[in-house]
Amino acid sequence: MEKNLNNAREEIIRRSGVNPSKCMKCGKCSGTCPAYDEMEYHPHQFVYMVETGDIEPLLKSQSIYRCLSCFACVDRCPRGVEPAKIVEAVRLEVIRQQGANHLKAEGVAENLDEEIPQQAIVTAFRKYTK
Amino acid sequence: MQVNEFKPKIVAFCCNWCSYAGADLAGSNRLSYPADVKIIRVPCSCRVNPMFILRAFQRGADGVIICGCHPGDCHYTSGNYYTRRRMALLFSMLDYLGIEKDRMRLEWVSAAEGAKFATTMNEFTEKIISLGENKRLEDLRCKK
Amino acid sequence: MQRIGVFVCWCGSNIAATVDVEAVSQALAKEPGVVHSANYQYMCSQAGQDLIRAAIKEHKLTGIVVCSCSPRMHEMTFRKTAESAGINPYMVEIANIREQCSWIHKDILTGTEKAIVLGRTAIAKVNLNAPLTAGESPVTKRALVIGGGIAGIQTALDIADAGFEVDIVEKNPTIGGKMAQLDKTFPTLDCAACILTPKMVDVAQHEKIRIFSYSEVAAVKGFVGNFDVTIKKKARYVREDVCTGCGLCTEKCPVKKVPNEFNLGMDTRRAIYIPFAQAVPKVATIDADYCNMLKNGKCGVCSKVCTAKAIDYEQKDTLIEEKYGAIVVATGFNPISMEKFDEYAYSQSKDVVTSLEFERIMNAAGPTQGKLVRPSDGKHPHTLVFVQCVGSRCANCAEKGKEYCSKICCMYTAKHAMLTRDKYPDTDVYVFYIDVRTPGKNFDEFYRRAAEEYGVHYVKGMVGKVMPEGDKLMVRASDLIANKQINIAADMVILAAAIEPDKSARSIATMLTASMDTNDFFTEAHPKLRPVESPTAGIFLSGACQGPKDIPETVAQAGAAAAKVIGLLAKDKLKGNPCVASSNELMCNGCSSCERVCPYGAISYVDKEFRGPNRTVLVRRVAQVNPAVCQGCGACTVACPSGAMDLKGFATKQIMAEVDAICK
Amino acid sequence: MKVTYFPGCTLKNKAKQLDIYGHKCAKALGVELEEIEKWQCCGGAFTTSSDEIATKLSSVRALKEAESKNQPLVSLCSACHNVLKQTNHAIQTNETFRARVNNYMADGEYNGGAKVMHYLELLRDVIGYDAVKEKVVNALNGKKVACYYGCLLLRPSKVMQMDDPENPQIMENLVRALGGEPILFPYKNECCGAYVSFENKDYTAVKSGKICNNATLNGADIILTACPLCKYNLEKCGSDIPVVYFTELLAEAFGIKE
The sign of the torsion formed by the CA atoms of D170, D176, D179, D183 equals: positive
| pLDDT at position C105 over 70 | yes
CA distances from C627 to C237, C574, C602, C604 (A): 44, 11, 7, 11
The predicted model gives C288-308 an average pLDDT of 95
CATH class of D136-254: alpha beta
CA distance D128 to D145: 20
Give the amino acid at D130: D
Report which DSSP code applies to C238. B
Query: Do residue B35 and residue C655 have CB atoms under 8 angstroms apart?
Result: no
| Low-confidence residues in chain D, pLDDT < 50 | none
Q: Looking at this protein, which amino acid is placed at residue D71? A: Q
Residues C629 and C517 grouped into a single domain: no
Across the interface, do C348 and D167 touch by the CB < 8 Å criterion? yes
Neighbours of C442 (CB within 10 A): 12
Looking at residue C237, its pLDDT comes to 97
Please name the chains neighbouring A, where neighbouring means 3+ C-beta pairs under 8 angstroms.
C, D
Beta partners for residue C327, in sequence order: C144, C539
Q: How far is D216 from chain C (nearest CA, A)?
A: 10
The pLDDT score that the predictor gives to residue B1 is 41
Which ipTM value was assigned to this complex? 0.81
- Write down the domain spans for chain D: 2-120, 136-254
Query: Do C469 and C347 share a structural domain?
Result: yes
pLDDT for residue B136:
60
For an interface test with D, the pick among C337, C344, C348 (most D C-beta atoms closer than 10 Å) comes out as: C348
Does position B2 have pLDDT exceeding 50, yes or no?
no
Q: How would you classify residue A25: left for phi > 0, otherwise alpha for psi between -120 and 50, otherwise beta?
A: left
Rounded distance between C-alpha atoms, residue C602 and residue C581, angstroms: 9
Subunits in contact with chain C (3 or more CB pairs closer than 8 Å):
A, B, D
Tell me C311's DSSP state.
Answer: B
- Domain with C512 in it: 134-234+317-332+504-575
How far is C347 from chain A, CA to nearest CA, in Å?
Answer: 17
Q: What is the pLDDT of residues C336-372, one digit of tens each?
A: 999 889 999 999 999 999 999 999 999 999 999 999 9
Residue of chain A whose Cα is closest to the Cα of D77: A119
The rounded distance, in Å, linking the Cα atoms of C620 and C586 is 10
- B12 in C contact zone (CB under 8 Å): no
> Could you tell me the residue ranges of all domains in chain A?
2-97, 102-130
Mean pLDDT for all residues in chain B: 88
CATH 1.10.1060.10 corresponds to the domain A2-97: yes
- Please check whether residues C13 and C107 belong to one and the same domain: yes
Q: Is residue C656 part of a domain?
A: no
The shortest C-alpha distance from D237 to chain C (Å) reads: 19
Domain boundary at C126, C155, C189, which?
C126
Q: What is the pLDDT of residues C112-169, one digit of tens each?
A: 999 999 999 999 999 999 999 988 889 999 999 999 999 999 999 999 999 999 999 9
pLDDT (0 to 100) of residue C572: 94
| Contact assessment for residue A56 and residue A2, using Cβ atoms and an 8 Å cutoff | no
Please determine, for residue A39, whether its predicted confidence score (pLDDT) is greater than 60. yes
Touch between A and C (at least 3 CB pairs under 8 Å) = yes
- The answer to whether D230 and D148 are in contact (CB under 8 A) is yes
- What pLDDT is recorded for position C73? 87
A2 has a pLDDT exceeding 60: no
CA distance D105 to D101: 7
Chain-chain contact of A123 with D229 (C-beta, under 8 angstroms): yes
The model's pLDDT over C578-592, given as tens digits with 9 standing for 90+, comes to: 999 999 999 999 999
Q: Is B30 inside any structural domain?
A: yes
- B55: CATH: 3.40.50
CB C406 within 8 A of CB C499: yes
Nearest to C99, CA basis, from C66, C64, C72, C126: C72
Neighbouring CB atoms inside 10 A of D148's CB total 29
The CA distance from D49 to the nearest CA of chain A, in Å, is 5
Cβ neighbours of C375 (radius 10 Å): 19
What's the pLDDT tens digit per position in C506-536? 899 988 878 788 899 998 888 888 899 987 8
SS3 (DSSP) at C486: strand
CB contact under 8 A, C396 and A79: yes
The answer to whether chain B touches chain A by having 3 or more C-beta pairs less than 8 angstroms apart is no
Count CB atoms within 10 A of the CB of residue C193: 23
Category of C225 on φ-ψ map: left (φ > 0), alpha (ψ -120 to 50) or beta: left
Whether C468 and D186 have beta carbons less than 8 Å apart is answered as: yes
Whether residue A124 and residue D195 make contact (CB cut-off 8 A), yes or no, is: yes
C212-256 pLDDT per residue, tens: 999 999 999 888 999 999 999 999 999 999 999 999 999 999 999
A16–D50 CB contact, under 8 Å: yes
> What is the arithmetic mean of pLDDT over C9-29?
95
Inter-chain touch C634–B42, beta carbons under 8 Å: yes
Higher pLDDT, C294 or B136: C294
- Kindly determine whether residue A32 and residue C460, on different chains, have CB atoms separated by under 8 Å: no
Do residues C376 and C463 lie in contact, with contact meaning Cβ atoms separated by under 8 Å? no
Q: From C520, C551, C512, C552, select the one nearest C218 (Cα to Cα).
A: C512
Distance between CA atoms of residues C591 and C175, nearest Å: 44
Look at chain C and count its residues. 664
Q: What integer pLDDT is reported at residue C398 of this predicted model?
A: 64
CB contact under 8 A, B42 and C106: no
Whether D206 and A68 have beta carbons less than 8 Å apart is answered as no
CB C505 within 8 A of CB C522: yes
Secondary-structure breakdown of chain B: helix, strand, coil percentages, each rounded to the nearest 5: 45, 15, 35
Whether the ω angle into residue D156 lies within 30 degrees of 0, i.e. cis, is yes
What CATH number is attached to the domain comprising C595?
3.30.70.3270
Is residue D218 within 8 angstroms of chain C, CB to CB? yes
Please report the pLDDT score of residue B142 as a whole number: 57
Q: Is residue C659 in a domain?
A: no
**Which chain D residue is nearest to residue C397, measuring alpha carbons?**
D158
Radius of gyration of chain D (CA): 18
* Contact in structure between C116 and C27 (CB atoms under 8 Å): yes
Q: How far apart are CA B40 and CA C565, in angstroms?
A: 36
Most B-contacting residue of C15, C102, C517, C663 (CB-CB within 10 A), to test interface: C663
Question: How many domains does chain B contain in total?
Answer: 1
- Which of C395, C401, C476 shows the shortest C-beta gap to A31? C476
> From residue B4, how far is each of A38, B38, B120, B133, C553 by CA, in Å?
74, 20, 21, 12, 61
Q: Where are the alpha helices (DSSP H) in chain D?
A: 16-28, 57-69, 78-93, 95-102, 119-121, 129-134, 157-160, 170-177, 201-217, 228-235, 246-254
| Sheet architecture: strand order including C463-469 | C463-469, C472-479, C484-490
Chains A and D make contact, 3+ CB pairs within 8 Å: yes
- Subunits with 3+ Cβ pairs within 8 Å of D are A, C
For residue C113, is it within any domain? yes
Q: What is the distance between the alpha carbons of residues B7 and B128, in angstroms, rounded to a whole number?
A: 10
Amino acid at C211: I
H-helix segments, C31-144 = 46-59, 71-84, 108-126
In this predicted structure, the answer to whether residue A72 has a pLDDT above a threshold of 90 is yes
The pairing of beta strand C142-146 with beta strand D181-182: unpaired
AA identity, residue D132 = V
Tell me, what's the pLDDT at C41? Answer: 95
Chain C: closest CA distance from residue B141 (Å): 14
Q: How far apart are alpha carbons C569 and C165 in whole angstroms? A: 10
The 8-class DSSP code of residue D184 comes to: P
Q: Which top CATH class is D2-120? A: mainly alpha
Amino acid at B26: A
Contacts of A117 in chain D (CB under 8 A): 10, 13-15, 228-229, 231-232
* Pairs of CB atoms within 8 A across A/D: 124
- pLDDT of C399 strictly over 80: no
Q: Is A96 helix (H, G, I), strand (E, B) or coil?
A: coil
Please count the CA atoms within 13 angstroms of the CA of C240 that sit on its side-chain side: 16
DSSP state of C629: T
Residue from A119, A128, A130 to probe the interface with D (highest D Cβ count within 10 Å): A119
- The pLDDT of residue D51 is 87
Per the CB < 8 Å rule, is B40 touching C658? yes
- C494 and C508 housed in the same domain: no
Nearest to C593 by CA among C627, C619, C612, C621: C621
CA–CA distances in Å: residue C79 to residues B126, C12, C347: 38, 22, 68
* Least CB–CB distance from C462: residue in A26, A36, A45: A26
Q: Which amino acid is at D121?
A: E
The candidate with the shortest Cα–Cα distance to C132, out of C95, C94, C96, C92, is C92
C662 domain-assigned: no
Q: Which amino acid appears at position A57 of this protein? A: P
Mutate to test the interface with C, among B39, B70, B77, B133 (most CBs of C within 10 A): B77
* pLDDT, tens digit, 9 for 90 and up, residues B31-41: 999 999 999 99
Residues B95 and B55 sit within 8 Å (Cβ to Cβ): no
Please choose, from the candidates C468, C472, C499, C188, the residue with its C-alpha nearest in 3D space to the C-alpha of residue C355: C499
The whole-angstrom separation of Cα D67 and Cα D71 is 6
As for how many domains chain C has, the answer is 5
Q: Please list the residues that pair with C354 across neighbouring strands.
A: C495
Partner-chain residue, chosen from A15, A70, A116, that has the shortest CB–CB distance to D191: A70
pLDDT of residue B141: 61
Between chains, do B24 and C70 touch, taking CB under 8 Å as contact? yes
What is the Cα gyration radius of chain C? 33
Q: Looking at chain A, which residue has its C-alpha nearest residue C466? A: A32
Alpha carbon distance C238, C64 (integer Å): 68
Q: What is the pLDDT of residue B78?
A: 86
Between B17 and C454, residue with greater pLDDT = C454
- Give the distance from residue C476's alpha carbon to the nearest chain D alpha carbon, in angstroms: 12
Q: Which residues contact B135 (CB under 8 A, 6 or more apart)?
A: none
**Contact (CB, 8 A) for C646 and C658:** no
Q: Which residues of C touch B76 (CB under 8 A)?
A: 535, 599, 631, 633, 635
Contacts of D190 in chain C (CB under 8 A): 465, 467
Q: Tell me if C485 and A31 make a contact (CB, 8 A cut-off).
A: yes
Average pLDDT over residues C616-639: 92
* pLDDT, tens digit, 9 for 90 and up, residues B56-70: 998 889 999 999 998
Whole-number Å distance between alpha carbons of A117 and D204: 15
CATH number at residue C477: 3.50.50.60
Q: Decide if C215 contacts C171 (C-beta within 8 A).
A: yes
One domain, residues C63 and C149:
no
What number of CA atoms fall less than 13 Å from residue D143's CA on the CB side? Answer: 22
Looking at residue C627, what DSSP letter applies?
A: T
Least CB–CB distance from A24: residue in C401, C434, C460: C434
Based on its alpha-carbon atoms, the radius of gyration of chain B, rounded to whole angstroms, reads: 15
